[in-house]
Structure formats: structure tokens, C-alpha cells
Amino acid sequence: MTEWLHPALLMLLGALVLPLLGGVWQKVTSVLVPLLALISVAQITPGSAGQIHFAGVDLVLFQADQLSLLFAWVFAIMAVIGNIYAWHLDDTGQRVSAFLYIGSAFGVVFAGDWFTLLVAWEVMAFASAHLIFASANRAAVAAGFRYLMVHVAGGVLLFGGIILHGLQTGSYLIGPLDHGQGGLAYNLILISFMLNAAVPPLSAWLTDAYPEATVTGAVFLSAFTTKTAVYVLIRNYPGAEVLIGFGVAMALYGVVFAVLENDCRRLLGYHIISQVGYMVAAVGMGTEMALNGAASHAFAHILYKGLLFMGAGAVILMTGRRKLTELGGLYRSMPITVFLYMIGALAISAFPLFSGFVSKSMILSAAAGDHRAGVVLLLTVASSGTFLHTGLKLPYYMFFGKDCGLRPPEPPLNMLLAMGLAALFCIGIGLFPQLLYAQLPYPVDYHPYSDAHVTESLALLMFTLLAFVLFLKYLDPEKTISLDTDWFYRRGAGLFMWLARHPVQIWEHWLITLGDGAGLRLMQHLSRLSLRIDTRLIDAAVNGVAATALRLGHLLRQLQTGIVSHYALVMIAGVIALLGWPIYVAMGTP
């Protein structure tokens, strides 16, 4: 139960108050409210609250267990860090939308029924879209609309799935979807979750939109949407085997596309997909250790990925450039940014003593324990790729490599502070994994720093470094963009517009000219006919009626004498006739 305010409610209230404040008070509030949310999460103990019976459906607005608390913890931590990173902003709109976004993410992890989840899910989509629109350039607005379109479609699938599920089971309470496995409801909800988790081919929205978001907005985006999807997958689809294949495929897919990428934040976006692949595969395995691994990897991932996006964002803010081909040599003037970024890079690469090591190795050990050798091998290949890109390629071309000639200063102090906090968590979790393990949904008996595990990981990573050094020139970024599955709706939209501009417009034009030509002649002919009917028939009838009335009036006037006794006689005759007629009838029918 909670003796404190629901963290989602706290963020919502904060979002209402923020616009009323200005200047430094708004900044203070933007960090204070997430801190209160953190305290609120610390007060929550497992249980449920807010049971409502509404329109024949049982709703549970708030339900907490170990799993939801774990995600709430990291969401609250990231909310504090992200708002410190955005301290320098003077943009109330972005602050408010970030608050609503974080609040609705809390809403999802604490939702006890499907409708509460759906509402929070939709608010997340719209609030987060503002963080893309706020870039206020043509590319960002277009990407924002595509983002919104994809997520609204996902929301419709989720809604349909929820209704079907409710009709089939009679319950709208959240829990593992064992009933109707493989049925329509099961699949609709699964697809909508996979869309938010950015599982290919439903992943292009992420790498399309995140690089267009504002510098601070992308930090929030990297943390919440895909990870709430991982949360709902753990909660509702543990052991759904189909997820193993998808998870492994997306881990490798992100790695392949990251090789081709030139935009620094798009490259990081591909590595969100790759990392979420580990979690999705772990959910598919469904063993206690695998689910622990998925949850702990999500926790670690939010912090190191936030740190990486903050580092790339600092470069974009200070240089105004985002393409690797236009960057390089920045280490001379931004050493602290380089240092903090590299802590995130070592964490995502799963170097021993960093956070990724203690969480990712748990997933790999779970796969090995589940006798899935292929999964272990392929995910290990992806681990090598992770270090290659986020740990080597990106920092090399962004900070080292060919000197682009720019000497930007370090970013504002608040950004460095936020990055420093995230870096502390990356190292802290790596050094004291038991602190994280104690919060996991199932009991943990796992020791990441045992056996040959440390040396094997180091060998894998350092020989990846050797290959990078030897084949560096083949990795040079190129001035290209990569086609992804968003091609279908971006080009599809072109096809749609072509259809609108050509066949549809021709048809419309034909209809209009039809009116001008044969159609118009027909209309004229018809109106002439109607005119003739009007003059010859209707007018004649009207005139005839009028003439008759006139004649009758004339006749009546001649009947009137003007003598009262005549009128009285007529009246009496009338009365007699009126009374006499029924009497005559009555007498005539004995």
C-alpha cells in the first residue's frame, strides 16, 4: 500500500504547477517534484489500492509488487537525472510534457487493470511526441507525426486486444496472458507491446524519431517507452517462446544497422533496439533467472543509455552538428564529456566492474542454463558489436579521429552533473551488484564475478578492440542514410499522395467537366422541360382556380340582399334543416 501520493499523480500535479512558475522557481520545481516521486516510490510497499467498479468492470488503479517497484525506482532516478540535465532550458512546454511522460510511465508500471494501462499508454505516446515536435524544424515535425501515427496505431491494436481479452475472460485485471494463447486478443496485445519495445519490423519509429528530438528530450525518450514495454512483456508474456527469436534477431539487427549509421544519436537508437533485444529474448525464455535478467538489464540500461544520450546531446548542443563525418577531435576541449560518456560506453559494453556486466551476463547465463547454445552465441556476437559501436566507433569519430577543427567548451555544469550522477550509478551497480539483485522479482543466487566469466568477457571485448584498430578504415562513417522499415510508410505516404494527386484528382476533374459538357446540356434540357411544365400546366391550373373563385364570389355577391329579415329567415330555415334532418332519419328507421 502507499501512504504517500501515487508517483504518477505527483508528476501530474507537477505538470499543472510548472506553467504557473517562471525562471528559477520552475527549474527548482522541475527537479524537486521528481525527487518527491523518488521518495514516494521509496514509501511504497507491495499491495494494491484504488479498486473501482466502473461500468461493470473492476479497475485497479494502483498495484505494486517487486517488479513494478524495480521499474518505478529506475524511472524516478532517471526523472531526477533527466530534469537536472534539462535545468538550463527555458521551455515550459518541454518540461510539462516530460513530466506527463514520466508520470504516465509510472501509471503503466503501477496499473492493475488493462484500462488504466491503456490510458497511461496513450498519454505516454502523446506527451513524448512533444519532445520531438519541440525541436521545431521541418524534419522533426515530420518525424514527430510519423512517431505519433505509429504509436496511435499501436494503441488501437492494444485497445482491440484488451476488449477481446475482456470479453473472452470476463476480467480486465493485468496478469500473464495464458488464456487464448495464440488467439487474436493474445496476438493483438503482444504486437502492440512489441511495437513499443521496438521489435523489428516494428522498430523504425525509434531510429526515425529519437535523433530528431531535442537534446534533452531524447534523454527522456531513451529511458521510458521501450522499457515500459519490457515491463509489460515481463508481466504479461513470460515464457512466450516467439520472443526469443525476435529478441536475438533485434540484438543483431541493431548491431548491423549501427555499422552503417552516420548520425550519432541514430546509432545510439539502433543500440537501444539491440539492448532491448537481450531483454525481449530473456522474457521469451521465461525462467526466473531470465526474467530477473530482463528486469535488471532494463534497470542498468536506462541509466547507461541515458548517459550515452546525454553525452551525444552535449556534443550536439555545443557544436550544432550530429553527423560523425562532421565531428572529430573534440577530446581536446571536452575531456570531461569524453570521460563520462566512456563510463556509459563501458557499461553498455558489459565491461567487468560496470553495470551492464552484472545484468547482461545474467541473461546469458540464463540462456546457457536453459540449454540454448545458439542464443548464447548470437547474443555474444551482439555484445562484441555493442562495444564496437558505442564504445569504439562512436567515441572515436565523435571525440578523437580526424580533427574537425571545432573547439567547443564543455557543456553547462548541470549537464555534466547529470551525466556524473548517471555514471555513478553505472559504476555503483557494477561494483555492488547485490544491491540491484536484492530488488529483483525472484530470489537471486548469481555471482557475476565468478569462474572464468571475467576473463572471458575481457578477452571478447579486448579482441574486439584489436579488430577495430586493425580494420578501422573500413568502418569510416559515410554520408548516407539507411533505409529501414519506415520506408514502407514514408514511401507509402508518397504513393498515397500520388494516388490522391493523380487517379483521384483525374476522376474528380472528370466529374467536374462532366457537369460542363454533356451533363450541363442534360441539365439545361431538363430545366427547359420543367419551365414548360411550370408555365403551361401549373400556372394554368393556378389561374383557373383563381378565375373560378372570382366567378363564385361574383355569384355570392348577387345573392346578398342586405335585408335583415331575409338573413333571419335563412338562418331559421338552416336551424330547422339541421334539427329536422336527424329527426327525419330517426323517424324513418323505426
Partner 1 sequence: MIAGLVNFFGDKRFAKLRWRLLQMVLVLIVIADVLMPRPHAQYFWQAIPGYSAIFGFISCVAIIFISKFIGHSGGIMRDEDYYD
Q: Which residues bind partner 1 (CB under 8 A)?
A: 255-257, 259-260, 329, 331-332, 335-336, 338-339, 368, 373, 376, 380-381, 384-385, 388, 399-400, 451-452, 455-469, 471, 474-475, 478-483, 490
Shortest approach of partner 1 to residue 396 CB, angstroms? 10
Rounded Cα–Cα distance for residues 244 and 515 (Å): 61
Residue among 339 and 442 whose Cβ is closer to partner 1: 339
Residue among 111 and 255 whose Cβ is closer to partner 1: 255
Shortest approach of partner 1 to residue 376 CB, angstroms? 8
Establish whether the linkage from the previous residue to 201 is cis, with ω within 30° of 0: yes
Shortest approach of partner 1 to residue 138 CB, angstroms? 10
> What are the phi and psi torsion angles at 53 (to 5°)?
-105, 110
Shortest approach of partner 1 to residue 4 CB, angstroms? 39
Residue among 296 and 457 whose Cβ is closer to partner 1: 457
565 Cα distance to chain centroid:
97
Query: Could you tell me the end-to-end alpha-carbon distance of the chain, in angstroms, rounded to an integer?
Result: 96
Shortest approach of partner 1 to residue 240 CB, angstroms? 25
Residue among 191 and 454 whose Cβ is closer to partner 1: 454
Shortest approach of partner 1 to residue 266 CB, angstroms? 12
Residue among 65 and 326 whose Cβ is closer to partner 1: 326
Residue among 478 and 534 whose Cβ is closer to partner 1: 478
Locus of grid cell 496485445: 189
Residue among 152 and 467 whose Cβ is closer to partner 1: 467
Rounded Cα–Cα distance for residues 108 and 233 (Å): 12
Residue among 9 and 251 whose Cβ is closer to partner 1: 251
The answer to whether 356 and 349 are in contact (CB under 8 A) is: yes
Shortest approach of partner 1 to residue 366 CB, angstroms? 13
Rounded Cα–Cα distance for residues 345 and 327 (Å): 18
Residue type, 452: A
Shortest approach of partner 1 to residue 491 CB, angstroms? 8
Shortest approach of partner 1 to residue 363 CB, angstroms? 16
Residue among 332 and 407 whose Cβ is closer to partner 1: 332
What does DSSP say about strands 57-64 and 47-54: parallel, antiparallel, or unpaired?
Answer: antiparallel
Secondary structure in 3-state letters for 387-451: HHHHHHHHHHHHHCCCCCCCCCCCCCHHHHHHHHHHHHHHHHHHHCHHHHHCCCCCCCCCCCCCC
Rounded Cα–Cα distance for residues 152 and 154 (Å): 5
Rounded Cα–Cα distance for residues 318 and 264 (Å): 14
Rounded Cα–Cα distance for residues 354 and 426 (Å): 6
How far CA 369 is from CA of 374, 447, 579, in Å, comes to: 12, 14, 114
Beta bridge partners, 63, equal 48
Shortest approach of partner 1 to residue 321 CB, angstroms? 14
Residue among 122 and 261 whose Cβ is closer to partner 1: 261
Residues 6+ apart with CB under 8 A from 579: none
C-alpha cell at 544: 383557373
Residue among 153 and 460 whose Cβ is closer to partner 1: 460
Buried-exposed string 356-383: b where 16+ CB fall within 10 A, e elsewhere? bbbbbbbbbbbbeebebeebbebbeebb
Shortest approach of partner 1 to residue 388 CB, angstroms? 5
